[in-house]
Each structure stands twice: as structure tokens, then as C-alpha cells.
Amino acid sequence: MTVTLRSLETAVPSTVLVQDQVRDVFAAQPGLTRLGTRLVNTCFNGADIDTRRTALEELTLASTVENPQFFDPQTGLLLMPSTKTRNDIFAAEATKLFIEAGRKAVDNCPGIGPEDITHVITVSCTGFFNPGPDYKLVRALGLNPSVQRYHLGFMGCYAAFPAMRAAKSFCDADPDAVVLVVSAELCSLHVRSSNDPDIIMGSSLFADGAAAAVITARDLPGDSPAIVLDHFETTLTPVGEESMAWNIGDHGFEMVLGTYVPHIIDDHIVGALEPLLAKDPSLAPLAYNEIGHWAIHPGGRSILDKVEAKLELSEEQLVPARETLRNFGNMSSATVMFVLKHILDQPFTGGNERICSMAFGPGLTVETGLFTRVPGSGAAAAADALAAEPVPAAVG
């Protein structure tokens, strides 16, 4: 049975953060040590990010909010709201992104309407509320009240993969299933000034955004490109449990993003890929750069640099990840979906194109997926196309 991602859409808040301006605000905070100031400049300048999005309009220098809770543009001070204050904003603002992305995905999936959705899977690690985003989607999109709902919470940057894997499992079990997967993250809610290198690194990288996909095995009309979900694997590296974590503090959630993470990925990425690529014997004789597309979660520039060098990928193969990072920053679990959309929207150069995808998160956890981008319509057409061209074409 061929399970296909038929629609993939994204949504971001309207407020844009310019990286250089945000750097200058963080570097000017009164509590920073000389080392802290140097770290702010180093992390922000080296992030390879131009702009990010935030649900917090008051984080901009042009803000006219009367009673700011996060940033006072008059004094230039970053404020310290409680975790409750941050989470209350998450409940309001994340709901908007969940609904916007989910609606766009359903509206842009030919042959599918709200009444066809059988399962909803929502993903987020930046806030909690209940009734949650899965419930809000059912109400706002007019889905069947009996739709099966699942929420994956607090897993981190890799969580889009278990969500897609669960969607594939539902479709494998029921050929008529139509699964709506929506991830929304408001990472900017948890920014703060600090001399802690991990917090400074997180403040230089993280942003807000959402992505949604419709996944099904149904044979649907339409001629838009699609992504066949071939295989998934998950791996825990033998080291790194203390190097990446996501904890709840009194003044927001606290990211641990150690500087050693890129080195752990460098040491273990080949081993993490082995069980995934072993699923398809046609990939055995190929070098990594002969697999057409690489959808890498851009956890940071140094992570992408390590992946590119270790796997000897071309600069072109990292363009979707680097452009996502440059234009949107790291939106946690939603980010790899932005990268996949970048690949999905590219013009076809030939027949089917393989995609190897991966994301990294607390643990250190490495989630991987092997996909095929196919032209044309429907699961049946995708299956025929796969049978006609089993060997992946290289890009670049």
C-alpha cells in the first residue's frame, strides 16, 4: 500500500524579527558579563539567519504595546514574564497558527474536504492547554466530531517524524484513512536574557511557525507533486543525553543546546542512517550525495555544516535546509516540514526523486525518513511511478 503526503502547507506570524536588530537588543542587556556579550554577538552573527517570525508583536523595536510583558522598547529591556503568562499567550496564538496551517492543507488537497478527515495529529513542545489544538482544529475546520485525535507534546525538534510515522501507520491499517498532521511552535515565547551559553544559543536560533500535511492512501484526483512515505527509523545516540534537553522553569521553558551537539551528530550520523537506508536495497551501492534530496532539520548552521561535510553532500543539496534557516530560523518540530515543502515545490528534472530526511532532538534522538517525490496524481499513480523507476536520481 502506498501512503502519500498529498498536501503540505505552512503558516507564520506576521511579525518579523531582523537578526541584527535582535542581536543588538540582547547584547545591550544590563545583566550581561563581558563574556556574555561576546557570546551573544558570536552566536547571533554565526547563526546564518537573516529573519525570524514571532507571535509576540511587542518584541519589535516599533512596538506600541502599552503594557509590555516581554520587551520594553522605551528602555530596551527584555522582561521576565512567568511561565503561566507565556503559556496563556501560547494557548491563544498557537491556536491561530494550528488552524491557519491546517485549513490551508485541507483546502489545497484535491478530492479532500473537512468531512474526509479521519484522524488529527497535532504536535508542539512550546506550550500546553486542554482542550488542546487537536480539539480546536476539529471545531474550527468543521471536522467530524468523531474524528480520532492525538497530540504529541514536548518531544522537541524531531517530533514531526513520529507524527508522520503514526499517520502512515493509520493509513496502512485503514486504506480509507485521511490524516491531518499539524505542528505549531512558538519558541519565541521562551526567550530571555542570560549569560548561560545554552540560553544565548537558543535565543539566537529559535522562532515561531506552523506546518500541516494531509496524508492518505486514497487514490485522489489532481496533478500536483506528492511525497510517498516509504520508511521511518529512530535512533538514540550512545552519548548526548545532557547535551540537548527541554525543561520547564519558572520564567518559561529552558533549552539546553550544548556546543558539543554538532560533534555528536558528526560521530553518529552514519550509524543513524544505516537502518533507514537498509530498508531499500537499491540505495546500497550509492554514495550519500547520489540520493537526490536531503531534508535536514536546520537545528543550527554548525549542524548543517557537519551533515554536509560528513556525508559529502553538495551545497545544492543543503539549500532547502539553509534557506529555511536563513528566512525563518529554527521553529522546532515544524522546521523540517518547511524544508520538505521547499523540496516539494521545486520543478521536476526527471522522474521520481528520493528524499532522505532527518531531525535531531533531546536524548540525543535522531529521527530519519526515506521518501519519494513523485509527479502526477493519486496513490495509484505514485505506486506506478515508483515501480517504473526504482533507482533514485541525483540532483546537482
- Is 236's pLDDT higher than 90? yes
CA R_g for the chain: 21
Record: fold of 226-388: Peroxisomal Thiolase; Chain A, domain 1 (3.40.47)
**Chain centroid offset of residue 132 CA:** 20
More confident residue, 164 or 264: 164
Percent of the chain surpassing pLDDT 90: 82
125 is catalytic: no
Decide: pTM greater than 0.85: yes
Q: What are phi and psi of 228, to 5 degrees?
A: -80, 130
Sheet containing 178-186: order of strands: 148-153, 119-124, 178-186, 208-216, 4-11, 226-236, 365-374, 353-361, 293-296
Please report the pLDDT score of residue 141 as a whole number: 98
Q: Which of 43, 125, 157, 356 is catalytic?
A: 157
pLDDT tens sequence across 208-217: 999 999 999 9
pLDDT tens sequence across 122-152: 999 999 999 999 999 999 999 999 999 999 9
Please report the pLDDT score of residue 259 as a whole number: 74
pLDDT tens sequence across 196-229: 998 999 999 999 999 999 999 999 888 889 999 9
Provide the residue ranges of all domains of the chain, joining segments of one domain with +: 226-388
pLDDT tens sequence across 63-93: 888 889 999 988 999 999 999 999 999 999 9
CB atoms within 10 A of CB 239: 13
Q: Are 200 and 40 in contact (CB under 8 A)?
A: yes
- Is 305's pLDDT higher than 80? yes
Supply 245's cell numbers.
534537553
Please report the pLDDT score of residue 395 as a whole number: 40
pLDDT tens sequence across 246-281: 889 999 998 877 777 888 998 999 999 999 999 999
- Is 394's pLDDT higher than 50? no
Q: Quote the Cα angle for 128-365-129, to 5°.
A: 5
Helical packing angle, 301-311 and 261-277, nearest 10°: 50
Q: What is the mean pLDDT of the chain?
A: 92
Encode burial over 127-151: b for 16+ CB neighbours within 10 A, e otherwise: bbbeebbbbbbbebbebeeebebbb
Please report the pLDDT score of residue 376 as a whole number: 67
226-to-5, 6, 180, 229, 316 alpha-carbon distances in Å: 6, 5, 15, 10, 21
